[in-house]
Amino acid sequence: MTVDDPRHAFMRRAIELSRVKMREGEGGPFGAVVVHEGRIVGEGWNRVLATRDPTAHAEIVAIREACQRLGRFSLEGAQIYATGEPCPMCLGAILWARIEHLYYGNTRLEAAAIGFDDAAFYDEVGRPPDRRALPSERLLADEARVVFAEWAAKPDKVRY
């Protein structure tokens, strides 16, 4: 890594977003950028408070913008720079988007130290459904399964 490492510029842009948008009251202190072929194609910051949307984390916002700009649901070959270690929701989004490399600044423990539940949610997601704090029950599995079977048999389906 050199002084002119472009990865530093991308992460600094994410950090700038985290600072500016937090000060504007958009949400928590988190920013992210998605980079494809050497340029930023998506920018995001936490907008949970501004949009009253608990899913509006920086990474989700950046991924959605990048996909709209590129016109596709896969970000294969792209990198994401996030100022905080992605929570399970955002890591899931990164995986579904097929992003190839993650760079992050603060860890889940540092997020916990300033009052966020990322670390606790990693623990919760890691448990089987019947051992979580969130009560979870199966219901009408036989009826739901019929639609899965219809998908399996669908000849023209697009995989994602």
Three-state secondary-structure class, residue 87: coil
- Of 77, 92, 119, 94, residue with least CA distance to 32: 94
Compute the least distance from the CB of residue 112 to a second copy, in Å. Answer: 11
Residues in region 51-80 near a second copy by CB under 8 A: 52-55, 60, 63-64, 67-68, 71-75
DSSP 8-state assignment for residue 95: H
Site for a second copy in 6-35 (CB under 8 A): 7-8, 11-12, 15, 18-19, 22, 27-29
Taking CB under 8 A as the criterion, which residues in 104-133 touch a second copy?
Answer: 104-107, 110-111, 113-115, 117, 121-122, 124-126, 129
* Shortest CB 4 distance to a second copy, Å: 14
CB-nearer residue toward a second copy: 39 or 76 = 76
Chain positions 131 to 150 lying near a second copy, rule: CB under 8 A, are: 134-141, 143-145, 147-150
Does position 160 bind a second copy by CB under 8 A? yes
Which residues are catalytically annotated?
Answer: 59
Interacting residues of 22 by C-beta distance below 8 A, sequence separation 6+: 28, 29, 30, 45, 46
Q: How far apart are CA 78 and CA 83, in angstroms?
A: 17
Q: Which residues contact 111 (CB under 8 A, 6 or more apart)?
A: 84, 85, 87, 118, 119
CB of 154 to a second copy, least distance (A): 8
Considering only residues 13, 95, 109, 131, which one is a binding residue for a second copy as defined by CB under 8 A?
95
Q: Which of 4, 38, 130, 152 binds a second copy (CB under 8 A)?
A: 152
The Cα 65–Cα 20 span in angstroms is: 19
